[in-house]
Amino acid sequence: MRIVLAAVLCLLSALPAAAGEAEVRSAQSAIDGQLKAFLANDGPAAYGYAAPNIKRIFPTVEAFMGMVTNGYPPVRRPKTYSFGKVEEMSPTSIIQQVLILGPDGKEYEAVYTLELQADGTHKITGCSLRASNALST
């Protein structure tokens, strides 16, 4: 009986980690999808990954794409990118570091914030960008 109880407790303790991993994968999928849409010049698809707070500030695809093109060139046209550190701030909020090699050949760190939406998808609520010579993961 003790062995069964121990096994059940082990399985139950693993569930939150699995849920957290699923949340992280969902958030990373949103970022990856948006970056691929930028590279494909698919503004409507890229805009689709933006959370409602971003869409209120940039109410059209054109305004959103203009902001990204002018303010975030490494995000708009990354040569390469990879996921770095991630932190689940709450069951519905994730912060994800993305390491980017920009079109200028320089390294950048983009820090994305994402929120889980009512439809079960993660949408991007913000992105901060900084240049870096030595990025750590």
Local structure of residue 29 (DSSP, 8 states)? H
* Per-residue pLDDT tens over the stretch 108-132: 999 999 999 999 999 999 999 999 8
Residue 20's pLDDT band, with cuts at 50, 70 and 90, is confident
- pLDDT at site 133: 66
In angstroms, rounded to a whole number, what is the distance separating the alpha carbons of residues 72 and 115? 21
In angstroms, rounded to a whole number, what is the distance separating the alpha carbons of residues 78 and 49? 17
Assess contact for 72 and 129: CB atoms under 8 A: yes
**Of the options 1.10.3720.10, 3.30.2290.10, 3.10.450.50, 3.40.50.2300, the CATH number for the domain spanning 2-132:** 3.10.450.50
Residue 33 CA neighbour count, 13 Å, CB half: 17
